[in-house]
Chain A
Amino acid sequence: MTSATQIARDVKSGATSAEAELEKSLAAVRARNEELNVFLYVDEEGARAQARAVDARVKNGEPLGALAGVPIALKDNLCQRGVPTTCSSRILEGWRPPYSATVVERVLAAGAVALGKTNLDEFAMGSSTETSAFGPTRNPLDPSRVPGGSSGGSAAAVAANMTTISLGSDTGGSIRQPAALCGLVGMKPTYGLVSRYGLVAFASSLDQIGPFAKNVEDAALLLEVIAGHDPMDSTSLPEASPSLVAHVNDGVKGKRVGLVRELIEGADDEVVEAVSRAAAALREAGAEIVELSIPETRLGLSAYYLLAPAEASSNLARFDGVRYGLRVDAEDVTAMNEATRTLGFGAEVKRRIMLGTYALSAGYYDAYYGQALKVRTQMISAFRSAYQKVDLLLGATTPSVAFKFGEKSDDPMAMYLSDVFTIPTNLAGEAALSVPFGVGETGLPIGVQLLGPGRSEASLFAAARVLEIARAS
């Protein structure tokens, strides 16, 4: 399949039409969605209307947005007005929001055609999409394996060529890890760069929405469309969307790249090797590689598994059967809340809600949640110190290639460890992406992770582009 950038160009020039591109996407969906369970909902009617509108604009010579006619998949924790938004949970089954997320409005305003909503781990809690209440998503490259999570569906949509781009969300690695397991470019932007308005919250201080794509240029294009200040999100950075596409080919000459020991240790050998080769490729392109240690990152996992569930336990309280979604009736409202939530939430969600509630409860707040907040401050300063010495960091995205279904789902801790390299960036609120670099013994893709300080997306894309070119040659 071609690229989003190419589709947009072709639609604009008249070489193709939005409807034609949509048909291609729908055909790809029909071919494999049943097998892979990528889309929970395909909005054929809505997509056709959007495509027709774009084609009409082309015909009338009206101005077109940067994504005009490009089909896009949206993770099902993004609100789209009138379209079912379930967060892969029974508790929201059938809910149609009366409003759209800011990012959804922006991609639609840019002319993209929203094909449908993709599968995820329930309420974005997971690293394999196995906790979805509507069945797991299979990795298009090897359907016996997971696509990663929580944005497994959005990753699979692009990996299976159903769309060229998709949106996911990343709280502890939920874009970068599936990107690595599916051979895609996936980025978690700087905290606050992209509005969270309309993203069903998991952990408010860690969540960010970001792009999946087959190549760096497309990822940059999509991020440019969704990024920039939003008055509906108080944590949104004040500036407008940065220029990213224009800097994709800036290269890495003169950049200092830190190879972080703690972001490589513990990964499978083939992954460690891929990171080494990536370092070499960057060096060849003119970057200076420096070995670094950021020991604070070791505390990331523990801090994350206190902070994220704590915020989640509060964010998910609103699912109580009163105003929308599932309701299991009972004699009194408290019994109704309990029956609804007990039936409506899966085990992983319940586990995290209880962990979070415990971490916040009287007597434990200081030792757990309070401490985790402080660890986070340390993480932030540790990274800022590192960025005094280097411009970017390099490491593994995830310890191994895509694993088989059921391999980790019995042991929560084992699953949590998949995020050990990605979590620190969420805690620090900074930017990071995964870019494919190499293939493992099984033939499955390996992703390497590039990290940068806040607002460094342009540099990250430029470095990823260098690796993309090196990989191709």
Chain B
Amino acid sequence: MAADLTRDDVAKVAKLARLTLSEEELDLFTEQLRQILTHAEDIAALDLEGVVATAHPYGLVNVVRRDDVRASVNREEVLASAPDAREGRFAVPRIMGEAP
């Protein structure tokens, strides 16, 4: 399966992860990921039928908090870190397409 990993797969994954790879990087990463995944084959090949994933190692459940208002952070302090802030909001270049 790991050997099945193609350059195309890596290109697709890079797109999903919002990364641009050069041609050389595409080659290099494909090779490296293939190697790593080859090691992961020992996992893929195991018969783990009936084994269930563990949520929290010490079985914590139902951790909730009360519906009480807490102070917010200072807007100016947060916007000071923003690459582009206007009118009290975070500005970004135009969005192509609506949200999924």
Contacts and interface: CB of A to CB of B under 8 A. Distances in A.
A334 B33 contact: no
A99 B29 CA distance: 36
Q: What is the size category of the interface that chain A forms with chain B?
A: 35 or more
B84 interface: yes
B48 A98 contact: no
Interface centre among A95, A98, A192, A413 (most CB of B within 10 A): A98
Contacts of B18: 317, 320, 334, 337-338, 341
Contacts of B51: 374, 377-378
Given A329-B93, A373-B54, A305 B65 contact: no
Contacts of B58: 190-192, 237, 429, 454
A368 B44 contact: yes
Given A358-B9, A368-B44, A99 B36 contact: no
Given A303-B43, A371-B43, A375-B46, A323 B81 contact: yes
B26 to A, nearest CB: 10
B77 A331 contact: no
Interface string A328-348: 011111111111011001000
Nearest to A327: B83
A141 interface: no
A372 interface: yes
B82 interface: yes
Interface residues of B, number: 49
Contact of A98 (B14, B29, B78): B78
B69 interface: no
A372 B43 contact: yes
B33 to A, nearest CB: 6
Interface stretch (A4-12, A162-170, A218-226, A349-357): A349-357
Contacts of A345: 19
Interface centre among B10, B54, B56 (most CB of A within 10 A): B54
B60 A332 contact: no
A321 B93 CA distance: 11
Interface in B1-56: 1, 5, 9-10, 13-14, 16-21, 29, 32-33, 35-37, 39-40, 42-44, 46, 48, 51-54, 56
A301 B81 contact: no
Interface in B71-100: 73-74, 77-78, 81-84, 90, 92-96
Contacts of A323: 78, 81-83, 90
Contacts of A95: 81
A454 B19 CA distance: 39
Contact of B74 (A98, A350, A370): A98
A61 interface: no
A234 B74 contact: no
A387 interface: no
Interface centre among B10, B18, B77 (most CB of A within 10 A): B18
Given A350-B19, A354-B10, A306 B40 contact: yes
Contact of B52 (A332, A336, A377): A377
Nearest to A193: B58
B60 A235 contact: yes
A339 B14 CA distance: 12
A301 B39 CA distance: 9
Interface string A221-251: 0000000000100110110000000000000
Nearest to A371: B43
Contact of A367 (B1, B16, B29, B36): B1
A235 B90 CA distance: 31
B44 A358 contact: no
Given A354-B29, A368-B43, A429 B82 contact: no
Contact of A412 (B13, B32, B60): B32
Given A329-B93, A339-B20, A357-B17, A380 B40 contact: no
A132 interface: no
Given A367-B1, A412-B36, A354 B19 contact: yes
A331 B93 CA distance: 6
Interface of A: 95-96, 98-99, 190-192, 231, 234-235, 237-238, 299, 301-303, 305-306, 313, 317, 320-327, 329-339, 341-342, 345, 350-351, 353-355, 357-359, 361, 367-368, 370-378, 380, 412-413, 416, 428-430, 454
Given A299-B46, A368-B44, A413-B35, 9 more contacts: A98-B74, A237-B60, A329-B93, A332-B95, A333-B95, A339-B20, A350-B21, A371-B48, A374-B48
26 contacts: A95-B81, A98-B81, A234-B63, A235-B56, A235-B63, A237-B60, A299-B42, A322-B83, A324-B81, A324-B83, A332-B96, A333-B95, A334-B96, A337-B18, A338-B19, A341-B17, A354-B29, A368-B44, A370-B53, A373-B53, A374-B46, A374-B48, A375-B48, A376-B54, A377-B52, A416-B36
